[in-house]
Amino acid sequence: MASDKRNEAHNGALALPEILIAELESADCVLLTTPIHNFTVPSVLKAWLDHVVRPRRTFKLTEAGKVGLLRDRPTWVVLACGDTLADEHGGKVYFATPYLTHVFKTIGIADLDILVLQGLNRGDKYHTVTQLQLDRWLEQLSTTRAVVAILTTIHWPYRT
């Protein structure tokens, strides 16, 4: 609904989404951590996305399709899965990576770097690869000024 057609109730319903969008707009980068539930993201993250993916606010509709209105920025996504997703263990199907890539691109954020934490209970191979990637991400994050952290429950059997 166009802003000039909204009443007080409509504006009240959009108060939280406006706060969430403003946080996202002000961030130099985004850090998202989330588990994979039932092949995709959990409902709490889906609800957050439903608040920030808004026509005429974070994307516009054109004849060519949706065009993002937010400034692109580095976005790091950490996905956690209790099992493995690699082909070597049966190639589990999951939709979290393509879903998040598509949704963020819709609002203008295409600079996604996704790390899937998987199979850490299957041995040091997975832990070593994950730790190297995570160290690289933490180094990059240390140089940014403002970060929006979208954190959902993550279970990582981290060992020191």
Task: Delimit the domains of the chain by residue range.
Answer: 29-151
Tens of pLDDT, residue by residue over 126-139, are 777 777 777 877 77
What pLDDT shows up at residue 46?
94
CATH number of the domain at 29-151, please? 3.40.50.360
What pLDDT shows up at residue 144?
66
What pLDDT shows up at residue 1?
73
Residues of the chain with pLDDT under 70: 86-93, 120-121, 141, 144-160
Answer whether 148's CB lies under 8 Å from 23's CB. yes
Answer whether 72's CB lies under 8 Å from 110's CB. yes
Answer whether 31's CB lies under 8 Å from 109's CB. no
What pLDDT shows up at residue 156?
39
